[in-house]
A and B are shown apart, each in its own frame.
Chain A
């Protein structure tokens, strides 16, 4: 079981947490919704829950609840820039199919 975070993503997470003024790390998760059934969730984490699985990579704590972990095991969180557009992307090896928007997927 592992979740990793790219150097670029780690740099941005660290910067945004500093700007926001609080937070222990980011929480990755999966919701059952969206056009392809599942959607990624990316949130600031202020507390670590007892059931959370915590990964640390490039100096950033990544929190995942055990239920979500089954869907995203092996995922790398990356930060990409396409022209002016920039943001985070889940590179998830379990993903079979995703909708055109990239926000929801199937495994």
Chain B
């Protein structure tokens, strides 16, 4: 029997009209599910009263019978004894090939490559990251359905702002495997802003500093009259509380002179101990680190200062990202009205102090940093399901990396610049490069660099059936559409004939991808190099076009040239052909200019002939 909930005044829904919609924070170390109950967002607890579900799945040997897997705290408890079959931090594998997973060899379980995708080798067979995530999502789904004694209508699932298309798609696939209707994927910091924005109702520019277990996100948001606009996002998709644990573990082992390689169960035990010590030090002046490694018991007293010192490089990395995102948003730190702390790792006093000192104000911590993302997602889910009658919460989100297509010479033409708000549709016109060209190959790329080779390839498709025309006459409109989940479709249409081709970018997992954070940093570090590379490619494209045009003209009107004029032009073409091989843009440009100057007289003669032919045999009044 359905039990009643308290509604907002005047918003009682008729029986059977209420739709159970939840927000799910699918985290690297733990996951949560939240819902709006009695008009208030709250995390739903399991039967034991705990709201957190460790994002850990243990696969059992099928030969032993039984249900075959453990999820959550049971799996976490078994991690030390059975690390090889206990999958944690699977979020790092989502939508990635094995080679792209940072520090894949440090994981306590075996990751292998299958169809370009990182998959986990377990005693129960190979498991894809989507299957593992689906176990976690299904557990949360059942918890929600039991809590409401009703079927789940849908869920809003949060992802780090840094997730690219492949990772977002992998998250959606995992939800589908778990039988969950995804109402929307939203960025974690945006969800945190919803939780805080509605509770406090204060307007202005905010920074969301989210240091979770496995990812770091920094976002700049503007809150105006209940509308959230994401101005810029940045961060590091491979930096989180886990790294602080590992840094501490490495420091303790170094202090104790342990040089031997640890076996997987020792590694898991040391890692778990490091996490425990780190958490204790958030409220204590000293803690003892105890572990058994290589057959001996080690004990090391750790002070907060020790923890700070051995993790200082990690803290600095987060602040570098903070400075960069402020530059992206075009604001100074003084303009930031408030700083919201999200993620369990922001409980560390050193993080709060460093962030506070940088912005010159105390960061906001009044909501539970572990729950805030799930709470915000549940508010959004409730609105999307139509439960709140005044729920016209408009959510503007942004794309994390620029989207564009490859043009002649391997350059990137950016069509959707990074930090554009979504959903969006942007179009640009292109044309053909050669006479009579009937097809156009389109290569969709993502990234901030100027050369295609330095960006991530998302998709390739062809537009065929363009009517033959001279170069430059065709008008091909390329439209990029990014939906509310951040997923992309690209279409190309020749405007004259109407021929059209399109592709939905459902990226194959594990395309040649540079690590995303590195890509962003790269684009700044290499800006100068990119300018030179672009200049060279442009000079070469110009030179090729000049050579082709001159040869066409020579074939048509070579009789206009007298004496050694033809030889001079041939020599200039030869010189330019040589120069194109150079890596110096100025050399190519100079040779192109020389050919242009050397053919001026010839061009004038051709022009005169053209006019004469046009006018021949016509009376003056006809002209």
Contacts and interface: CB of A to CB of B under 8 A. Distances in A.
A13 B6 contact: yes
Nearest to A47: B9
B147 A84 contact: yes
A103 B2 contact: yes
Interface string B1-30: 111111111111011100000000000000
Contacts of B46: 84
B12 A19 contact: no
Interface in A2-41: 12-13, 16, 19-20, 26-27, 29, 31, 33-35, 39-41
A27 to B, nearest CB: 7
Contacts of A82: 3, 149
Contacts of B47: 83-84
A80 interface: yes
A1 interface: no
B389 interface: no
Given A20-B39, A35-B15, A101 B1 contact: yes
Contacts of B16: 34-35, 101, 103
Interface string B27-54: 0000000000011101011110000000
B147 A16 contact: no
Interface residues of A, number: 36
A46 B7 CA distance: 12
B435 interface: no
A46 B40 CA distance: 15
B39 A16 contact: yes
Given A16-B40, A102-B1, A88 B6 contact: yes
Contact of A34 (B15, B44, B143): B15
Given A13-B6, A85-B148, A20 B40 contact: yes
A83 B47 CA distance: 7
Interface string B113-153: 00000000000000000000000000000010011110000
B15 A88 contact: no
Contacts of B12: 29, 31, 41-43
Contacts of B147: 84-86
Contact of A42 (B1, B5, B40, B149): B5
A43 B2 contact: no
A44 B7 contact: yes
Given A33-B14, A83-B47, A101 B4 contact: no
Nearest to B146: A84
Nearest to A39: B15
A82 B150 CA distance: 13
B8 A43 contact: yes
A68 to B, nearest CB: 12
Contacts of B6: 13, 16, 26, 42-44, 88
Contacts of B45: 84
A42 B15 contact: no
User: Which one of A12, A46, A80, A103 has the highest number of Cβ atoms from chain B below 10 Å of its Cβ?
Assistant: A103
Nearest to B150: A85
A50 interface: no
Nearest to A78: B3
A90 interface: yes
B383 to A, nearest CB: 17
B148 A42 contact: no
A19 B1 CA distance: 26
A76 to B, nearest CB: 13
Contacts of A89: 3-4
A43 B10 CA distance: 7
B213 to A, nearest CB: 26
A12 B39 CA distance: 13
A103 B5 CA distance: 11
B9 A46 contact: yes
A57 to B, nearest CB: 16
B5 A88 contact: yes
Contact of A43 (B9, B44, B149): B9
B41 to A, nearest CB: 9
Nearest first, the 6 closest Cβ-Cβ pairs linking A and B are: A87-B3, A103-B15, A102-B1, A84-B146, A85-B149, A34-B15
13 contacts: A13-B6, A16-B6, A33-B14, A42-B5, A44-B6, A44-B7, A83-B47, A85-B3, A87-B3, A88-B4, A99-B15, A101-B15, A103-B15
Interface of B: 1-12, 14-16, 38-40, 42, 44-47, 143, 146-149
Given A42-B5, A87-B2, A101-B16, 20 more contacts: A16-B39, A19-B42, A27-B9, A34-B14, A35-B16, A41-B12, A42-B4, A42-B12, A43-B6, A43-B7, A43-B10, A46-B9, A84-B47, A85-B147, A86-B3, A87-B5, A88-B5, A90-B4, A101-B15, A102-B1
